[in-house]
Structure 1
Amino acid sequence: MQRVGGQGREATRHRALSVSALMIMGISVNISASATPTLASLRSHYETTINVEPTVKTPLPTPPTKLFKTVRYDSDGMSLAAFVTPDPQDQKKYPAIVWITGGESNTLADFWRKGSKQNDQTASPYRDADAIMMFPILRGGNDNTGNIEVNYGEVDDVIAAAEYLATLPYIDSSRIYLGGHSTGGTLALLVSEVASSTHPNLFKAVISFGATQETMFLHEVTFTGDEQREMDLRTPANWIDDIRMPTWIIEGKRSGNYRDLKSMCDKNKNPMLQCSFIPRYDHFSVLYPLNRHLAQQIMSDETLSIDANASWTDRN
């Protein structure tokens, strides 16, 4: 989960895929000429050609049973694994957060082992605050069936995982959040853009740490179809106008993907998307204090807010 990734190409085409362009690309879309297609509508008419078979299958991790239990959720006809905080058995309903790890986000390792306050990628402040946590394993990861689609089918997996989470008797289904870091943050943005159209009430808010304007690792994939189309449908910067649920982009200003994200945020005119860049913190050190702050707001059922210039060091 350590890789920060490159800056990505400048994504200047927010919604550049016009209806006429879609026709040229061979996508038949049943919308009026004046309508602007959403990422969700384009995905519904396109099947990706990127299908990467995992080179190594790793066993499911085994966290302490008092922290997480293994569950299975269904996505696109596949039974996929996830880890969820056990039922506290107190008859209460709790807020919950689905967390997507960085690096190769399809697979989980020792996700429950807390890092230092300078690099805690486990989002431990949420479980410390008694929020319910879910870590989904995505298609092709660990012992899951399916192949890796590099932020395409994985969007459906995250949505399906959250739908499963909402059915648990100890979950307040009106207070489910989505969070992710680095490559997981990029996937969280794509999920926000799609779910805003397909599942508008699924997430109360989305929290994206250290994302990039476009999906990493695509340059390492051998394309058998339309490379530009595959890139476009995985580039969050193209679809920020689709976001209709509160969504936060957060990054430290000292290093990481700050410059890449600032370029995207400077163009943003969508009030549902907020960007917060934290001085004196980097791609990793920003995680603990900001997650701790957000966890407190979630447990108090407050509207999420961030003062980028607050003295976060005093809150560690």
Structure 2
Amino acid sequence: MNQIRILALLAIVICVCFQAIAQQKKVSLEAIFKEGVFSQKSVRGINWMKDGQYYSSFKRENGASQVVKMNVSTGEEEAILIDGNKLGINFSSYSFNNDETKALVATEVESIYRRSSKGIFYVVDLATGVSQKLMDGEKISYATLSPDNTKVAFVKDNNLYYITLENNEVHQITTDGKWNHIINGAADWVYEEEFSMAQAFKWSPDGQKIAFIRFDETDVPEYNMQVWGPLYPQDYKFKYPKAGEKNAEVSIHVFDLGSEETTLVDAGKEKDIYLPRIYWTGDSETLAFIRLNRLQNQLDLFHANTSTGESKTVLTESSETYVDLNYNDNLLYLADNKGFIRTSEQDGFKHIYHHDMNGKLIAQITKGDWEVTEVVGVDEKGKKIYYISTEKSPLERNLYTVKLNGKSKTELTPALGTHSINMSPDFKYYIDYYSTANNPLTVTLNTSKGETIKVLEDNHDLTERLETYALSDKEFFDFETVDGTTLNGYMIKPADFTESKQYPVLMYVYGGPGSENVKNSWGGTRDFWHHHLASEGYIVVCVDNRGTGGRGRDFKHSTYANLGDLETQDQIAGAKYLGSLPYVDATRIGIWGWSYGGYMSSLSLMLGNDVFKTAIAVAPVTTWRYYDTIYTERYLQTPQLNAAGYDDFSPITHVDKLKGNFLLIHGTGDDNVHFQNSVDLVNALVAADKQFETFYYPNRNHGIYGGNTTWHLYNMMTDFIKRKL
């Protein structure tokens, strides 16, 4: 009798649950892409102020830009520091000088490539509210106030300048700048994209010198990208070094404002190198810089005398594979030239190291089979370092503090999820941007001990809206491949999921070196498209293959010299694992991806033609011979040294294996992964007599957006999945 009652009660509970789901709304494409229903709020433009008791924050009031002064102890707004209404300037960014008497604001900013831009800049006197327009409103790039508050340096037409604010006098530092030939003080295309830099100059601490990088790209081959729209399409030609081709010749220079002389810094005799970073040390007489060889398997740190240009090597790190600058881009010089803090993967995991000024190792500060993902700050007075790591799991990001001697490690953010930190210069407070896979962003103001002072944003309205929709939680899982490798994944099921049914599966992949999609963090718009597909009866799954980040050097470097091989094996293994689950229809498994993910989805459909039924490739690399030097050669060496690594796992090589449904999408204005990749894949597919679908977006770049584009793209992909999966 009790068993009958329990079963009856269980049936009632299930019925109530299904009724609740039925009353909730389905996630529609309109809600995602037209109405912005699932957009989360944040707190942006936060800059800590010098006294440590205040921070400034960017906001919009009545459609105008404002910068407000916030009290740390109360969390309340105390003053408006910059008022766009009064200035008549609708600015989009701002920065203060060191003593917070002036601010630099930018308006009418237009993007050039991913990180580069130009705009109209003003210097605002915070006491009087008077603004000074730079260069009579001509658009300039990377305007930067000098440390002594008297000048602004910037780049215009590939030349480096500075303005004396007192008399508005313009000083031209370089004169040889020329489009597609010489760039002074700004990065070329490939440095910007692959070394994550656009500005390539820095003021000395005393404001009397400017160090800058010069790019001579005269001999770099041009890429010609047609711009459609006029009666006669126009050519847009820019320097893009494809794998194995000539790079720009780079050099470092220091301009002395007093003598007006420029000193060339000695970076060695070899010219086929990279010089991706410059740093001022504790004084204006010593400039540090990093040099990488062409194959990026040796990194050298130099210190140079800025008066003579003479340099010496203080540290060298080499690898049988590569030394990843972007992954280890944490170099901080301590006050009074006491040494520097850096990160390295040299023991197999990314950790923090302390060196003296001669490069001698003082201590390895963090250790373990986990990675430091960011050095947040070094509190020299308190002899502490604040950092974010994966110590709990590759899926998590938490804040810790540790003494410079490696002792007294303390976790400050125990909540599982992803924490991004903005710490005050005096290390008394920090702002925590925190989310999980199933909870949107919460922004809090905290003491350095981890105590919350105030919640700045909790996305309460979004959370309430989410409750009105039929959504299932993102579930994490792992599985073992045939060779015993454990891979992490996540799964989004239909809200009315039941194990007694069989569902089609769409896998989502990126999979490139050092990337990570399977993380306990809020996913945003693309995740809600996946939720829409779940509402239509699909299970959406993502698996991080070998080569991805967060799991140490060996896991990440396992794909070295042979991109596409192990990664595709792992996606196929993931599909087979899913196909073994009782609630998955193994005959209806698809895969989609963008960029590297488009490369992966193409290969997976071709090499896994017995497993995958359907694939979508958006803006894919189809042969690494068409991609840039820095990224491609880091992982594959040059085509001259490793032709097989370029060709054996090119989708173009495997078109004859295509059996399933294939949709290929690209923007013709893609300056990153050129439309040429898709054109050549189409040619190869036609030659192999393979049927497929394709779509191009005129003049759209790698992100394929603008106007109605995003809505159109996801509508088309949704339709294809419904027809073909």
Shorter chain as denominator, the TM-score bin is: 0.5 to 0.7
Residues 1:124 and 1:298: Cα distance change in structure 2 (over 3 Å) = same
Q: Find the aligned partners of 1:8 and 1:174 in 2 and give their Cα distance.
A: 39
Q: What's the offset of the Cα at 1:194?
A: 1.3
Amino acid at match of 1:64: N
Rate the CA distance shift 1:114–1:77 in 2: closer, same or farther, 3 A.
same
Q: Which residue does the alignment assign to 1:232?
A: 647
2:702 to 283, 305, 311: 283
Q: Is the 8 A contact 1:232 1:238 kept in 2?
A: yes
1:254 lines up with 2:669 in the alignment: yes
Between 159-168 and 141-150, report the one with greater CA deviation.
141-150
**CA–CA distance in structure 1, aligned partners of residues 584 and 193 of structure 2:** 33
Q: 1:126 aligns with which of 530, 555, 566?
A: 530
C-alpha contact (below 8 Å) 2:490/2:543 kept by paired residues: yes
Task: Report the identity percentage.
Answer: 19
Inter-partner Cα distance in structure 1 for 2:242 and 2:507: 26
User: Which letter does structure 2 place at the counterpart of 1:179?
Assistant: W
Q: Which moved more, 1:255-264 or 1:75-84?
A: 255-264
**Structure 1 residues 101 and 191: CA distance shift in structure 2, 3 A:** same
Give the structure with the higher percent helix: 1
1:100 pairs with one of 477, 490, 509: 509
Match of 1:303 in 2: 724
Distance in 2 (CA, whole Å) between partners of 1:164 and 1:101 is 19
Q: CA deviation at 1:146?
A: 3.0
Residue correspondence of structure 1 range 144-293 to structure 2 within 5 A:
146-148=555-557, 149=559, 150-196=563-609, 200=610, 202-215=611-624, 217-221=631-635, 223=637, 227-256=642-671, 257-269=674-686, 270-279=689-698, 281-284=700-703, 285=705, 289-293=712-716
Q: CA deviation at 1:193?
A: 2.3
Matches within 5 A, 1:42-53: none
| Structure 1 residue 172, shift from structure 2 partner | 2.3
Q: Secondary structure at the match of 1:221?
A: helix
CA distance in 2, matches of 1:135, 1:230: 26
CA distance in 2: counterparts of 1:297 and 1:258, whole angstroms: 21
Show the counterpart of 2:524: 114
Which residue identity is paired with 1:303?
Answer: K
Match of 2:336 in 1: none
Uncovered stretches (5+) of structure 2, i.e. residues with no partner: 1-113, 115-191, 195-239, 245-319, 328-344, 351-370, 372-389, 397-416, 418-436, 440-471
CA distance in 2, matches of 1:296, 1:89: 22
1-structure distance, mates of 2:643, 2:599: 18
> Distance between the aligned counterparts of 1:245 and 1:100, measured in 2?
18
Instruction: Give the match for residue 31 of structure 1.
Output: none
For normalisation by structure 2, the TM-score amounts to: 0.31
Q: 1:171 and 1:241, CA in 2 relative to 1: closer, same or farther beyond 3 A?
A: same
- Contact map agreement 1:193 1:239 (CA 8 A) in 2: yes
CA, structure 1 residues 78+156, in 2 after alignment: closer, same or farther (shift >3 Å)? Answer: same
Aligned letter for 1:218?
A: T
Structure 1 counterpart of 2:97: none
CA–CA distance in 2 between the matches of 1:135 and 1:102? 10
Per-residue deviation, 1:128:
1.2
CA contact (8 A) 2:511 2:544 kept: no
Q: Residue 68 of structure 1 is aligned with which of 453, 462, 474?
A: 474
Structure 1 residue 280 displacement after superposition: 5.7
CA 1:112–1:288 in structure 2 vs 1: closer, same or farther (change >3 Å)? farther
The count of corresponding residues between Structure 1 and Structure 2 is 253
The 3-state SS of whatever aligns with 2:608 is helix
Per-residue CA deviations over 1:125-156 (Å, capped at 9, x if unaligned) read: 23213221111111243348734403221110
Any unmatched runs of 5+ in structure 1?
11-48, 116-121, 305-316
Q: CA deviation at 1:158?
A: 0.5
Structure 1 vs Structure 2 CA RMSD: 3.6
Distance 1:282 1:165 in 2: 34
Does the CA-based 8 Å contact 2:614-2:661 persist in structure 1? yes
1:110 Cα offset (Å)? 6.6
* Aligned equivalent of 2:234: none
Contact 2:652-2:680 within 8 A present in 1 as well: no
Structure of higher CA gyration radius:
2
Aligned to 1:28: none
Q: Tell me which amino acid in the other structure corresponds to 1:227.
A: N
Aligned to 1:129, what secondary structure does the other structure show?
helix
SS in 1 for 2:555: coil
- How far apart are residue 83 of structure 1 and its match? 0.7
SS at match of 1:292: helix
Letter in 2 for 1:93: Q
Give the conservation status (yes or no) of the 8 Å contact 1:218–1:231.
Answer: no
Task: Tell which has more relative contact order, 1 or 2 (C-alpha 8 A, sep 6+).
Answer: 1
Which letter does structure 2 place at the counterpart of 1:79? T
Residue type at the aligned position of 2:532 = D
Deviation at 1:159, TM superposition (A): 0.4
More strand by share: 2
TM-score by length of 1: 0.66
Cα separation, 2, equivalents of 1:268 and 1:161: 26
